[in-house]
Amino acid sequence: MEWSKLFSNFQSCEVLVLGDVMLDTYWWGHVDRISPEAPVPVVAVDKKEIRAGGAANVALNVRALGAVVHMISIVGEDEAGDELINLLQQQGIQTNGIIQTTKRRTTNKTRIISRNQHMMRLDEEDVFDVDSEDSNSLLTHIESLFSAGKIKVLIFEDYNKGLLTEQLIQHVLDLCKKYHVITTVDPKRKNFLSYKGVDVFKPNLKEVKDALGIWVDQVHLAALEEVHQQLKQHLQHSVSLITLSEKGVFCKDDQDAFIIPSYVRNIADVSGAGDTVIAVASLVYALTKDIKWMAEIANVAAGQVCEEVGTVAVNADRLLDELQNLYPNGLA
């Protein structure tokens, strides 16, 4: 298949993203003196910027590749929640599945940056579990989308902010099986082993080691295949896609196993790279079921976003150009 054909097919794919959304706020400034009140730099703010983060950034990445995206989440009835929903709507993402509530604040992470260096981060958030009323409302909306028969893949994007409880995860997985929807997961520690039977499980290596209580002293294929087997004992999933930081990604299913190394790049900021990996991998897997190309394309896309400061979505044209240069014969 030619690369242009694959990218064209993205537009016919309908995706549901379920997870913790947040607002990423950036204060950009410069430092030219130390505070007389304490030994800390004084940042003179030059501009402020807001971006959609967390699961919302996953949705933006999927949308940037042309797919139809439904965002399912919960935010506060506050200014940050309104701004976040507006940011998604501006990009054509369906937000009918986002509940606004007075029971919690919208997660807002404010980063203070000078000369492309993070000076400080301030977090405003509530991380308690959603209650049964809101959970049931989310489930009702998800099933209504599934019953229309258009959703091809559901992405779980867990940031441990209270949306993805063990009960909600299980109910959603049951719905996915009922309606034959592909499932992919970017997990976090709290419910790491709750995603039983999913299609693609995408943690990073540190998360796997912490969750399983194992030590991997050297990153090589045999050791990572053993990690996959230990994960599979708990999850009975189909594919492991484990990101290895600067070493690339590891991928394995029942037939194949391989490591795809990272390409040399000028890294500016790794925040949001995992969001890009799960977004791109989910789309490619849903359309091709080819784990090699799933991992390869996601690896290239993540490298590209790491060259930008802050949370950014993949650029489809730039990704297509690099893939055509790297693999001129297409998905051979």
Distances (CA, A) of 270 to 50, 225, 265: 18, 26, 12
- CA geometry: angle 256, 259, 260, nearest 5 deg: 115
C-beta separation of 27 from 112 below 8 A:
yes
Positions marked catalytic: 275
Instruction: Tell me the three state secondary structure of residue 40.
Output: coil
The DSSP secondary-structure symbol of 148 reads T
Rg of the chain on CA atoms, in Å: 20
111 has which bridge partners? 26, 121
Burial class (CB in 10 A: 0-12, 13-18, 19+), 177: exposed
Could you tell me which residues come within 8 angstroms of residue 325 by beta carbon, excluding any fewer than 6 positions away? Answer: none
C-beta separation of 213 from 189 below 8 A:
no
C-beta separation of 74 from 130 below 8 A:
yes
